[in-house]
Amino acid sequence: MKRKVPEKRRTPPVGADGPFRNLERAVQEAGLRLGKKAEPPPPEPAKASGSSSPLDDETAFLQAVEGVSRAEWHSDVVPARRPPLPPKDQDSEDRRLMEAAVHGAADFPVESHPEYIEGWVGVAGRQYLPRLRDGLYAIQGQLDLHGLARAEARAAVDAFVAAMSRFKPCCVKIIHGRGINSPAGREAVLKESLRQWLATRKLARHVVAYASAPLKDGGVGAIYLLLRPA
């Protein structure tokens, strides 16, 4: 007796009895069209073995500017103006230094001037010289010797020093000039005479120290004189 082999069940096609069995008909009735499945991008070609290394910066720059030509400059050249030459005469140089001092831009110390003078009496007088040189003492009197003859200037200096140092120590200024308008060949006659007078016994007993004034207050055309009672 032969055994009856059971028949295999046929698997229904996908969508025949499933939940999407009516999908195709519904899509057609709705007038829709299903898009095609996107194809994957083609694979990149494999790099050949032994390829050259990336270009360095210099080579890449030369390749980028290849064929570029330099533009020509067609404008007229304007010559630069030469600055005016500084004055060579001593008077103009002194005037320049004085103007710079008045505007607070002077860095030239009056001690470096060839006509600068200073002096002191006794050992104690030297300690007051730095402050006197810098003009740190208040000026309490002034005498101008311009226009005076040598004898007239001597008498004026004697009277002025005696009057100013009669009661208390003080600082005064004497304007002696530089002899620019002197008939004796631009020699500072009164300036040199004043140094001699201050060293005499008559005036030395009143003098502590003296120094040419700073540029802002007359420079080498005047002196500061520090006095004490006799």
Q: What is the CATH number of domain 108-227?
A: 3.30.1370.110
Q: What is the pLDDT of residue 145?
A: 93
Q: What is the pLDDT of residue 50?
A: 47
Q: What is the pLDDT of residue 62?
A: 83
CB count, 10 Å around CB of 137?
15
Q: Give tens-digit pLDDT for 24-58.
A: 777 677 766 666 655 666 666 555 544 455 667 88
- Residue spans of the domains in the chain: they are 108-227
Q: What is the pLDDT of residue 215?
A: 84
Kindly indicate the confidence band of residue 170, based on its pLDDT and cuts at 50, 70 and 90. Answer: very high
Residue 66 is encoded by which pair of tokens? Answer: 């290849």
Q: Which residues of 49-88 are buried (b: 16+ CB within 10 A; e: fewer)?
A: eeeeeeeeeeeeeeeeeeeeeeeeeeeeeeeeeeeeeeee
Highest mean pLDDT among 31-45, 61-75, 106-120: 106-120
Which residue intervals of the chain are DSSP H helices?
23-29, 57-64, 90-102, 129-133, 150-164, 189-198, 201-204
Average pLDDT over residues 156-173: 93
pLDDT at 194 over 70: yes
